Amino acid sequence: MCSGWFSSLGSWAVAASTGAIAAWVLSFIRELWNRPVLRIAIDLGRGSVVESETTEKVPVKHARLVVDNRGKTLARNCCACIDYMKRIDPTGSHYVFRSDLIDLGWSMLREGATVLHVPSRGYRLLDVGHTYIAKENALDVTKFWIDGAIIPTRLIPELKMNAIYEMHIRA
């Protein structure tokens, strides 16, 4: 009698552990298959370069990156930052900035929004920089601005229009 009870308990334990392992494997495969897959690109057709005007009729040109989610689930709490920037002037001089992270903001959201969910099979636009022509003083040159949440003050005088910029963006 004891052996029958022990064998039924043993077969029940084997069945339960087999079911638990199968559930874990299926859950792992489901998470692997149904994960978000983000791709960052420049796409002129979807708004990577946009020309507009401010309320004072000042022309502005925005540079944006397209963040695609090609996965099957929502990408939660997405953010991006610039961790390295190099400016090369036409004269040959250059400036390298790599001491701070600059959080980038998302386009067409409230001011300072740096975290966003990207829907499955959808995309969002990430602001990188824009040009601005000062209307107050006609002799001012066109300015280039990084669209970060907070820009270090030592970086602001180094942003110049007629230059080539190399940036490393982490997402």
Higher pLDDT pick, 82 / 160:
82
Give exposure, 132-160, as e/b (b: 16+ Cβ within 10 Å). Answer: beeeeeeeeeeebebbbeeeeeebeeebe
Domain that holds residue 120: 38-170
- Maximal CA-CA distance, the chain: 101
Quick one: 29 and 47 in the same domain?
no
Structure confidence at residue 45 (pLDDT):
87
Pairwise CA distance, residues 78 & 70, whole Å: 14
Q: How is residue 90 written in tokens?
A: 């036409």
Task: For residues 12 and 49, state if they share a domain.
Answer: no
Which distant-in-sequence residues (6+ apart) come within 8 Å of 158 by Cβ? Answer: 87, 95, 97
Give residue 32's pLDDT.
67
Let me know whether 68 and 22 are in one domain: no
Whole-model pTM above 0.75? Answer: no
Q: How many structural domains comprise the chain? A: 2
Question: In terms of domains, do 116 and 144 share one?
Answer: yes
CB 127 within 8 A of CB 62: yes
CA distance 161 to 171: 26
pLDDT tens-digit readout, 121-163: 889 888 888 887 766 655 566 678 888 888 888 888 888 878 8
pLDDT tens, position by position, 99-124: 888 888 888 776 667 788 888 888 98
Whole-number pLDDT of residue 110? 67
pLDDT digit string (tens) for 6-35? 556 567 777 778 888 888 888 877 766 777
Statement to judge: residues 61 and 86 lie in one domain: yes
Same domain, residue pair 13 and 74: no
| 37-71 tens-digit pLDDT | 888 888 888 888 888 887 878 788 888 999 999 88
Same domain, 97 and 122: yes
Token reading at 46 = 């979807």
